[in-house]
Structure 1
Amino acid sequence: AKYLAVDLGIDEYKKVNVPLVFRHTPVTSANARDSLRIVLKYTAGLPRNRVTSPTLWVKRIGSDGFIAKPMQEIPEGYVGWIAPHQQSGKVAYYLTASYTHENSLWEYAGETNQVSLNSRGILYRVHISPGGGVLQKGARTKLLARPVDDTGANLASAVQQRGQVKWIILSGDSTAKLSVNSEDPFRADLWPQIDGQVKLKVEAQLDGLTKIGYATFTSKTMELANIDLQAPTQAPNNQPVQLGFIATSTDSQSMRLDSEWRVDPPYAGQISENGLFTPASNFFGDVRISLVDLTSHKQKTVTINLFASIDSTTETTLVDASGLRLHLPKHSVMRRRQLSLQKPNLPNVKKFTRDLQVVGSVYQLLPAGVKFEKLPTLSLPNLARGSKAPPTLGWWEQTRLQWKPLESTVTDSTVSAFIETLAQFAVLVGNEPLGIHQLSFLPSPFSPLRGSLRIGYVLTSEEGQALVSIRIYNMAGELVRTLADRQVQYPGAHTEPNLAWDGLTNAGRMARNGRYVVEVIAENVKGKVRQLATVVLVK
């Protein structure tokens, strides 16, 4: 007993013998799947028949009060049992017993003890995801069953090894199709075939316990109208990026999609079913991520610009989607930098200068102006293989507004050079002499009733630009149509729509059937070139 009260009179002396015949060691923690053995030890040497009513009082998890459980006699005393709980929490208990001593009945009551129960690994619930909602009729919905203990830990591996899982359709709609994944029994695909409700359940069994999860869906005819992708425009290449989406039907309702994520280029990273994108640590620049609806084949794409964090310890080779490679040795920078890549669209006046022209894309390495302590190597794809002039790697000097070639190493696939600073870079070739090459027509013969005649050619000019005129003549040498008159054009291939002939004359009348001469003239301050070719018009 915790307290002993003895009544005494004035100047009265009383000797009290308190029999201490019980001892208990509290249980403080246990596994929730186990029965708890509670022992009340009997320490007296006197006969056991003096002990009456040994009782274990238990307050289970979620209970409002204590319940008495008689204890059984064992050699060392008395034992009682607390049944398994199968969930975590705290269970309370205390012990009582009576003992007769010197014609007095002593009542013993122990303190209340708390036992912390750990339910890790005990099947507690089965979650189905998604757990309900509206589904598109005829479209696949991916389902996932997740058996957990009451701490939320996933028990799928244990169930697969020591138990089993079953998917069952409960609704009367026998046309709904449910297909369980042969490699992962916790995944299933559901195809509702008609409008209405679809009910299903999942049974999971583990170590003698069975738990059931339910889900109810409403199937209806829906048509996808829009996909809104949610993603950042810029992100580091060393951290996962979570993408999300909202799909809307033609009646403005939210939709679930049978969808697939795609990454372009594929080596830029990996993306999970739920849209968690993990970038490749050596990729920077633009990556395109698309969500494709496999039912309607509609898709939405976002572009994320990935940047790389580098410091003095970084030694890596960064790549982008178009073939750029940037090898950074250790100590290329002295402090941490965020290195990013963009591909700006430059005006022709910047791409074609008096001496040089850009071949392919321009690559902007940021932050501009940062100088390297130890020089990295930049390699760009060699798209100038057909050029007569040898290509070089060059950078744009902003103060002088001109391209500066670098000493370069050229292979069939790349042009490489050491770079000293972050700037705009491109593959450069020298301008070729004025010329019109590869003059061609499509289709030939052509019918203006079926479409226009497309005129194509390759222009070269050592000045970086030329004035181009395109005229159509009949076989008598009479001017029929002027398509371009001293139009400023830059070197390269030209097939612009405004240079196509629709079969009309300058007067707006349809030209007659027959053969016509196409004249293309290019001129600059150093001279003029002329190309002629014939084409047949058939209405």
Structure 2
Amino acid sequence: TITDSNGDVLPFRVTVTASNSTTSLTTQTNNDGEFIFEGVETGVEYAISTDIYRDGYDNSETSILVPTGASQTVIPDEIEVPIRNSEISGTTGVGSATVKLLDGDTDQILDIATSGSSGSYAFTFLADGRYKLVAQKLGYIFNTDTTDVIVLPVNNTQTVNFTAQPNIATLDVKITRDGANVSNADVTIISADTSVVLNKKTGANGIARFSAIEASTSYTVRAVKEGFTSSPGSRNVSLSSGDSTTTNFTMSANDASITGLVKTASGSNLRDAKVLAILTSTGQSTEATTSSAGTYTFGSIASGTYDIVASKSGFTSDTVSVTVNPGGSVTSGDLTLTVASVRISGKVVLKGVGVQGVEVTALSSATYTATTNSTGNFSFASLPVKTGATDTTTYQIKIKSGVFTKSYTRQVVATQIGKTITLPTTDLPSGQITLTVTDGVDPIGGAEIVFGISGGESESIVTGAEGAFVSDDNLRKANYVVSVFKEGFLYPENTIRLALETDTSQLTRDVYLPYVQSSVDEILANQKTEVKVQNPVGYDNSGASGVLYYKQESASSFTSVDMTLAGDSLVAEMPVFGSVEEVTFYTAITDTIRNNVYLSNQTSIVPLASGILSNIRVTPTVSGQRLRAGDSYSLDLFIRDGINKSLTDKFIGDSTDGNITWSVLNEATGIELTGQSGTAITLEAKQAGTYTVQVTADLDGSSVSRNLNLEVTEIPIGDISVSVPAKQISNSSTHLFSYAAKDTSGAAVMLGNGVTWSVLPSSAGTIDARGVFEPSGSSIIGTFNVAVSDPVSEKLGISDDVELIARIEPDEAYTLTDGNGLELSLLEGSVDIPSQLSLGQTTPPATKKFVFAQGSDVSYTVSDKIYILSFSGSELKKSATITLPEDSSLILNSGNKELARFNFTTLQWELLNGQSKSVSGAAGSASTSSLGQFAILAENEPLGIKYAAVLPSPFSPDVAPVKIGYWLDTAFPPAKVNIRIYNIRGELVRTLVEDDLQQPGRYGSSSSSKEIIWDGLTDAGNMARNGRYVVQIKAKDQQGEVVKLLQVVLIK
């Protein structure tokens, strides 16, 4: 059942899926939130999940294991769907404000809203929980930046309002040069928290005005104009709310220049060095790069004092100070850079040949990488080195190839700067180990090998079909260890140890897994259990001996049993345990030829209580029930052992191993038992009272008893209700129905053997005295009811409607029927996945009863029966043939009758195959490409009144009114109908119907579209006189008018 957290059913049907790695099933809940999956595979676990896509609803999931062989499995707990239906709303006091919704405990932002023009905001579809709110808008302050924690219950709305106050100021930035205003200069202001960054240009008055900016903060102000330098470089201005402040900058022209030369310590000109000119008064800097001649130039710069700094990777930097006057040009002193790096190189060889692609790393304060070239050489051309006279730079050079690693450490001092350090040639090892996992006859694929160096790293691989493992060809001299595992095989007790004598040794070795222990699926408590270990045919097992070890849970140690060698097997037996205490066992095979011991994994099994009397059950279940006095009840005793195997055969026949005793305790006489020593007896409830019947079964020293507590009542039966197994059930299996009888006091009563069961209609299937329903066949679909009849009380109980559904497989063809004339033929391949097909019925609403068919100008009347055919799986992949029976509601309609399907896209009935399909005789057939709602449409005849009659005539108003009936035809419904009563002189006596809009069909009786009677009164309310009267029925539509006259005689 799907509910919300309060246990209430959701207000809509929910799609539910049941899925695992191979199957996915879909269904929908009913109005009670219940759902069912039919035909599920047993012994499999399913994930049950909802599939809801509605605001405020989250999906939920659970899982359930369907036991093997189970006919029905119920999810024990309701599946609760979380609902988010709470809300926080209010006003910020100003439009376009940002409101952030925070987690009340972690301050994580959950959602962001913007207030409307009126300041209102809202967060909807919230789960219950703890929240905070933050309101923000540039230029405003709020009564609180962050609210206290808001505790929001389920289905609750809380209002949180903010108050906003303006927080703005004005800042003027004025720029001059030699006392004159500077226009078109760029001015930037940045708030202290960098949330405000604004740019403007100065006007002709030299001012850039920033109005209505956020106050209560400070701003960094900078002024820039191409070709000029500002003084100062920046200012910091603090603003309070309402301030109007001016800050000033002066500009000087960039008309000076500086040139210079950068050299190495050896006197060579240094190209591509980076040179910075830093104006000391403002901190502003300009960058240049030296030419091939080592020269640099800074042109069009401001006058003043500069620090000139030269630098280049691998060199120490140098600085000089230069002062340049307005419009002047100076040459700085030379800048000299000293190399601050070393070069480290080396070579890697394998078997005397250089190896390409070996990774080499140099690790110090940073990590540098290199790779050997085609000759095995590598180098680090420029590794940084500390330049202090007492400094030492340490480098660790690591050479790695496969599992081989070689490291060198070099300490470099300042005196080695600019020099090359050469490492010794590194020789790579080339040893290799090749293993083949075999059972002694054939290689074993899929075995897991754990291979590694003794006491070091290891790797795990799985062998291919040939059972082979080949190591890298770079193993060094060392001891290596091997472990091997394969599911189902006994594994070597001793780790396999392999020694490579040199760095170039090549070693090939077979690894043997010759033994497999046969699976022991169960231990039966009353039987010995064989354990067998097998080797492949052709394997030499002459050196093999085995031991079986086993123990019960309570034992402190294992018991051993020698295994017997028989051909290609070693066999031993565990004894009869005679109990259900857990048993643990394993086998050990000693193979002197392989010089190893092979062990199986330990297996623990709880023995099955086979042959041990464990349970007795009486059916039907009468214990705790109220029985009716005078009824007889047939009782059967079922006896089973601990594996649910029947032991009943040991208690029946001429010679029995067990004994059964039935008795009524306290020698009560209100209950009478017939057949008190057998498995089947008859219990007769003779008189009201409370009783206890005891039944005891004895077998091989085990005894089980059950007491049946009964109450016999003489209160009459007041009601019988019938319960259904589900609203939809499969047509290919049996299903159990049950009934509940209640006496006139409302208490439940169990009825006796006289109750009869029946199926309505009988074509749906049969039902036996136990309530087991068997469908008529896998071709039957549709709705049916089950009835229970009690001949004593003459009470009848009828179940709710139950739908028989059919399972449709992709590779089969089907002809399905409801047993009453409907047939549906499906071709093989009509579905691409297994699906379920159901048949339901409904009656047409007014909007679907009298219609114009899709694409037609002909009007139709729809049959009272609409058949609903639907899939739970995919849509039809091939056209199906549908046959519908004649509908009694159209029997008086003489127009052509056609099969139609309702199109839910156009909301119109469409004739099948797009053409008329006349229905003749008892049924009609047509082809359809999709399922849905089907009905018979009768073409409406031209305007006419048929089968008109008055009953009774003559009539007496004192006894009963006269009924006026007729059949109305109209091709353009509705028709306007008037019914009037005239005397023989033509005078109007009574108007019964005036301008009534009527659809085609039958009128007059209480079961028709409209009941029409005359009670003998005139329009004035007086009783009409005795005599003959004329009933005029007049109908009119857009094609014309018809009149029908009937005579009736009134006698008081």
Q: What TM-score does the superposition give when structure 2 sets the normalisation length?
A: 0.36
* 1:361 correspondence with 2:858: no
Spell out, residue by residue over 1:444-466, the C-alpha distance to the aligned partner (whole angstroms, 9 max, x if none).
44444444433322111111432
Deviates more, 1:153-162 or 1:166-175: 166-175
1:265 alignment counterpart:
761
Give the corresponding residue for 1:143. Answer: 634
2:942 paired with 1:433: yes
Q: Is the 8 A contact 2:641 2:647 kept in 1?
A: no
Bigger CA drift: 353-362 or 414-423?
A: 353-362
* Distance in 2, Cα, partners of 1:388 & 1:411: 12
Say if 2:685 is the partner of 1:196. no
Distance in structure 2 (CA, Å) of the matches to 1:313 and 1:361:
32
- Measure, in 2, the Cα distance between the counterparts of 1:30 and 1:353: 76
Q: Distance in 2 between matches of 1:324 and 1:224?
A: 39
Give the distance between the partners of 2:1004 and 2:883, measured in 1 at CA.
Answer: 30
* Cα distance in structure 1, aligned partners of 2:732 and 2:808: 11
In the superposition, relative to structure 1, how do residues 313 and 518 fare at CA in structure 2: closer, same or farther (>3 Å)? same
Residue 205 of structure 1, CA deviation: 11
User: Partners of 1:116 and 1:137 in 2: how far apart?
Assistant: 41
- Asked if the contact 2:900–2:934 (Cα under 8 Å) also holds between the matched residues in 1, the reply is yes
Q: How does 1:411-450 map to 2 (within 5 A)?
A: 411-450=920-959
Which one is further off, 522-531 or 157-166?
157-166
Q: Which residue of structure 1 aligns with residue 964 of structure 2?
A: 455
Are 1:486 and 2:995 matched, yes or no? yes
* Pairing partner for 1:251 from 722, 738, 745: 745
Quote how far apart the aligned CAs of 1:315 are: 1.1
Query: Residue 350 of structure 1: SS of its match in structure 2?
Result: helix
The alignment status of 1:218 with 2:711, answered yes or no, reads yes
What residue number does 2:1018 align with?
A: 505
Deviates further, 164-173 or 387-396? 164-173
Instruction: Work out whether 1:345 is the aligned partner of 2:837.
Output: no
Q: Is the 8 A contact 1:370 1:422 kept in 2?
A: no
8 A contact 2:961–2:1013 mirrored in 1 = yes
- 1:499 positional shift: 1.4
Structure 1 pair 453–161 and aligned structure 2 pair: CA distance change class (3 A) = farther
After superposition, what is the alpha-carbon deviation per residue over 1:313-362, rounded to whole angstroms, capped at 9, x for unaligned? 13111112642110111012223333233323222342222522223422
The answer for the alignment partner of 2:902 in structure 1 is 396
Distance 2:909 2:1018 in 1: 44
1:99 equivalent in structure 2: none
Separation in structure 2 between the aligned mates of residue 509 and residue 421 of structure 1, nearest angstrom: 61
Q: How does 1:2-21 map to 2 (within 5 A)?
A: none
Q: TM-score, normalised by structure 1?
A: 0.66
Which residue is equivalent to 1:84? none
Count of matched residue positions in the alignment of Structure 1 and Structure 2: 431
Structure 1 unmatched runs, 5+ = 1-27, 32-87, 92-114
- Looking at structure 1, the residues matched to 745 and 938 of structure 2 have their Cα atoms a distance apart, in angstroms, of 56
**Residue 516 (structure 1) aligned with residue 1029 (structure 2):** yes
Equivalent in 288, 300, 303 of residue 801 of structure 2: 303
Q: SS state of the match for residue 353, structure 1?
A: strand
- Structure 1 range deviating more: 388-397 or 524-533: 388-397
Structure 1 window deviating more from structure 2 (154-163 vs 313-322): it is 154-163
C-alpha contact 1:441 1:535 (8 A) present in aligned 2: yes
1:289 lines up with 2:757 in the alignment: no
- Tell me the residue number matched to 2:654: 162
Higher CA-based Rg: 2
How many Å separate the matches in 1 of 2:693 and 2:877? 65
Per-residue Cα deviation, 1:15-60 (whole angstroms, up to 9, x for no partner): xxxxxxxxxxxxx9759xxxxxxxxxxxxxxxxxxxxxxxxxxxxx
Long gaps (5+) in structure 2: 1-523, 528-577, 582-606, 853-857
Specify the alignment match of 1:119 in structure 2: 611
Deviations 1:70-126 (Å, cap 9, x if unpaired)? xxxxxxxxxxxxxxxxxx8589xxxxxxxxxxxxxxxxxxxxxxx998537x89968
d(CA) in 2 for partners of 1:511, 1:200: 77
- Return closer, same or farther for 1:532/1:197 CA change in 2, 3 Å cut-off: same
Code of the residue aligned with 1:311 in structure 2: it is E
2:1047 equivalent in structure 1: 534
Work out the CA distance in 2 between the residues paired with 1:443 and 1:166: 73
| d(CA) in 2 for partners of 1:364, 1:124 | 48
SS in 2 for 1:298: strand
Aligned counterpart for 2:974 among listed residues 465, 469, 488: 465
Task: State the alpha-carbon separation in 1 of the partners of residues 728 and 618 from structure 2.
Answer: 35
Provide the residue aligned with 1:67 in structure 2: none
Q: Which has the higher contact order (CA 8 A, sep 6+)?
A: 1
- 2:983 counterpart of 1:474: yes
**1:216-261, CA deviations, whole angstroms, 9 ceiling, x for partnerless residues?**
5332232444445443333443454444444433323222235443
Residue 338 and residue 206 in structure 1: after superposition, are their counterparts in 2 closer, same or farther (change >3 A)? same
Partner amino acid for 1:144?
A: L
Query: Structure 1 residues 168, 437: CA separation in 2 closer, same or farther (over 3 Å shift)?
Result: farther
Which of these residues, 863, 885, 888, is aligned with residue 381 of structure 1? Answer: 885
Q: CA separation of 1:313/1:216 partners in 2, compared to 1, >3 Å: closer, same or farther?
A: same
Q: Aligned to 2:763, what secondary structure does the other structure show? A: helix
Distance in 1 (alpha carbons) for counterparts of 2:873 and 2:1014: 48
Cα offset, 1:371, TM superposition: 5.2
Quick one: structure 1 residues 363 and 116, their matched pair in 2 at CA, closer, same or farther if it must change by over 3 Å? Answer: closer
Cα distance change on mapping 1:433 and 1:293 into 2, 3 Å = same
Over 3 Å counting, the alpha-carbon distance change for 1:528 and 1:147 in structure 2 is same
Give the aligned residue type for 2:1041: K
- Greater CA deviation, 390-399 or 226-235? 226-235
Residue 177 (structure 1) shift: 7.7
Find the aligned partners of 1:521 and 1:171 in 2 and give their Cα distance: 84
SS of the aligned residue for 1:302 comes to: coil
Alpha carbons of 1:339 and 1:516: their partners in 2 closer, same or farther (altered >3 Å)?
same
Once residues 873 and 942 of structure 2 are traced to their aligned partners in structure 1, the CA distance between those partners, rounded to angstroms, is 35
Q: Secondary structure at the match of 2:800?
A: strand
Query: Contact conserved, 2:837 with 2:871, CA < 8 A, in 1?
Result: yes
Q: Is the 8 A contact 2:835 2:872 kept in 1?
A: no
CA shift, 1:526, in A, is 0.9
Distance 2:611 2:873 in 1: 60
Deviations 1:461-519 (A, max 9, x none): 11143222222333443333332212122212223433133344334444444433322
Residues 163 and 205 in structure 1, CA contact (< 8 A), matched pair in contact too? no
Q: 2:841 aligned with 1:335, yes or no?
A: no
The more displaced of 211-220 and 330-339 is: 211-220
Over the aligned positions, Cα root-mean-square deviation in angstroms equals 4.3
Q: How far apart, in 1, do the equivalents of 2:623 and 2:1004 lie?
A: 55
Distance in 1, matches of 2:978 and 2:872, equals: 41
| Contact 1:471–1:520 (Cα < 8 Å) also in 2 | yes
Report if the CA contact (8 A) 2:832-2:874 is conserved: no
- 8 Å CA contact 2:965–2:1002 kept in 1: the answer is yes
Corresponding residue of 2:728? 234
Q: Residue type matched to 2:987 in 1?
A: E
The separation in 1 between residues aligned to 2:873 and 2:661, in whole angstroms, is 63
Q: Is the 8 A contact 1:453 1:501 kept in 2?
A: yes
Instruction: Note the C-alpha offset of 1:425.
Output: 1.7
For 1:22, the equivalent position in structure 2 comes to: none
